[in-house]
Amino acid sequence: MADRPVPLAERRLMDVKLAELPNWLGKRDFTPNGLIRSVRGGYDRYFNKYINVKKGGIGGIAMLLVGYIALSYAWEYDHIKHDRWRKYH
């Protein structure tokens, strides 16, 4: 896949080399409009890949639920800390 060199700003995250990461982050659009657009873009990609198909499976929604569970666990961790069985790990 050696096409003509794509400018850094337009490359997707997986195509960016590790050393170029700060540069790439700097070029991204962090205005509110840009943020909303990126969120919308992400949602659209996810939706079209896993839900907007003829024979979707449980995975489309299950992954969202698992993500929700993980996030809520992370936010509640300070409260859950007190249920730990051992003090020292």
Partner 1 sequence: MLSRLVLTSGSALKNSGSFGACVVQASRSIHSSPQSKAPLPPLPEKGGKIRHGIFPEELFSLLYPKTGVTGPYMLGTGLLLYMLSKEIYVINHETFAALSISSVIIYGIKKFGPGVAAYADKLNEEKVAKAQEVKDVAVARLAQAIEDEKKEQWRVEGRHMLFDTKRNNVTMLLETNYRERLHMVTSEVKRRLDYQVELQNLHRRMEQEHMVNWVEQNVVKSITPQQEKESIAKCISDLKVLAKATQARAAV
The binding site for partner 1 (CB under 8 A) comprises 40, 43-44, 47-63, 66, 73, 77, 80-81, 83-86, 89
Tokens for 12? 């997707």
At closest approach, how far in Å is the CB of 55 from partner 1? 5
Nearest residue (CB) to partner 1, 6 versus 70: 70
Report the alpha-carbon distance of residue 47 to residue 62 in Å, rounded: 13
Question: Is the Cβ of residue 28 or residue 40 nearer to partner 1 in the bound state?
Answer: 40
Q: Which two tokens stand for residue 64?
A: 């969202």
Nearest distance in Å: CB 73, partner 1 = 8
Buried b (16+ CB within 10 A) or exposed e, 40-65: eeeeeeeeeebeeeeeeeeeeeeeee
Nearer to partner 1, 4 or 12 (CB): 12
